[in-house]
Amino acid sequence: MLNGRSILITGGSGSFGKKFVDHVVHNYPNISRLVIYSRDELKQFEMAQLYPPEKYPFIRFFLGDVRDRDRLTRACEGIDLIVHAAALKQVPAAEYNPMEFIKTNVLGAENLIEACFKNGVKDLIALSTDKAAAPVNLYGATKLCSDKLFVAANNMKGSREIKFSVVRYGNVLGSRGSVVPFFLNKRDSGVIPITDPEMTRFTINLSEAVEFVIQSFKRYSGGEIFIPKLPSYKITDLAEAIAPKCEVKNVGIRPGEKIHEEMITLMDSPNTLEFDDYFAILPPGPMWDKDEYMKKHGAKPCEPGFYYHSGNNTSWLTVEEIRKHVKDHVDPNFTV
């Protein structure tokens, strides 16, 4: 899917973007062009030091914002495949700055769809979040709107040879603003604040997220929302794994926060197929034959009443497994 192609990643200087670029340059030596599109010039400068043009002549750094349709359209010229990772994602910030999130996450998605139509892009996968399933905060609501836009774009493409799909996954271990770095920073204070002792979360590391996105390009037909099967952890186990000597203080749930995170809701289950290591929520309407899709991909329908959230999971990380994940994927110097 990637060799010989021109690739653009929006939000290319963010946590996922940097890991995606690292994976691509080391595993797909024959790509034609890799365009890193983001609005942060400092992060682009820092990335450029890692990928000097004399060694990586196929890499391009393109300053721009997904809110700017003209600039985004220019960036998509000659592009075959897009990974859309650009987003505003901090839940508390969204509650106090709603229009900023709508402009980036919703209108930015629409801008990218139009840019794809104008430039003959062939493939696009957009990154979503578990917070887009039955959202209770504005960030999740904007990502749900974004998901709907990309799924619906398959109905608006006309004769264009392009496919749009979405990948939805849980909290990325160690990403900027996530709970693991927060707990690591709080260890010296002697107190670890948790919002509720019953809280659970899905988890995935950046390498797994990148690989799942690339695999989704190989199997998608357009319109699916792909969801990996992930382990969950209890927030109390995370606190024990990172800071066993600290006091754990219950500070209450923050605005827009859930006790358990969902990735497939009860209402999604009639349109959800199960595979060995992932699920796919199919698009509404007769976009393509469901029975033929199941036969082709080796899927089975989910049972009526099925839903998938971090509290009803069958796979859980132990305290020791959490510690290993933190050391392997967040801080190689981590010790208890």
Active-site positions read 131
Nearest to 33 by CA among 13, 3, 63: 3
Phi, psi for 185 (deg, rounded to 5) = -70, -25
Contact of 262 with 130, CB cutoff 8 Å: yes
Please tell me the distance from the alpha carbon of residue 301 to that of residue 17, in angstroms, as a whole number: 33
Nearest to 47 by CA among 24, 67, 73: 24
Nearest to 293 by CA among 143, 169, 165: 165
Phi, psi for 36 (deg, rounded to 5) = -100, 110
The tokens of 220 are what? Answer: 């998608």
Nearest to 117 by CA among 63, 159, 59: 159
* Beta bridge partner(s), residue 83: 9, 125
Map tokens 């670029």 to a residue: 21
Please tell me the distance from the alpha carbon of residue 3 to that of residue 24, in angstroms, as a whole number: 9
Please tell me the distance from the alpha carbon of residue 101 to that of residue 125, in angstroms, as a whole number: 20
Please tell me the distance from the alpha carbon of residue 156 to that of residue 145, in angstroms, as a whole number: 16
Give the residue ranges of DSSP H helices in the chain.
15-27, 41-50, 69-75, 91-96, 98-101, 108-119, 138-156, 179-186, 206-219, 235-242, 290-297, 319-329
Neighbours of 176 (CB within 10 A): 10
Nearest to 227 by CA among 185, 186, 255, 268: 268
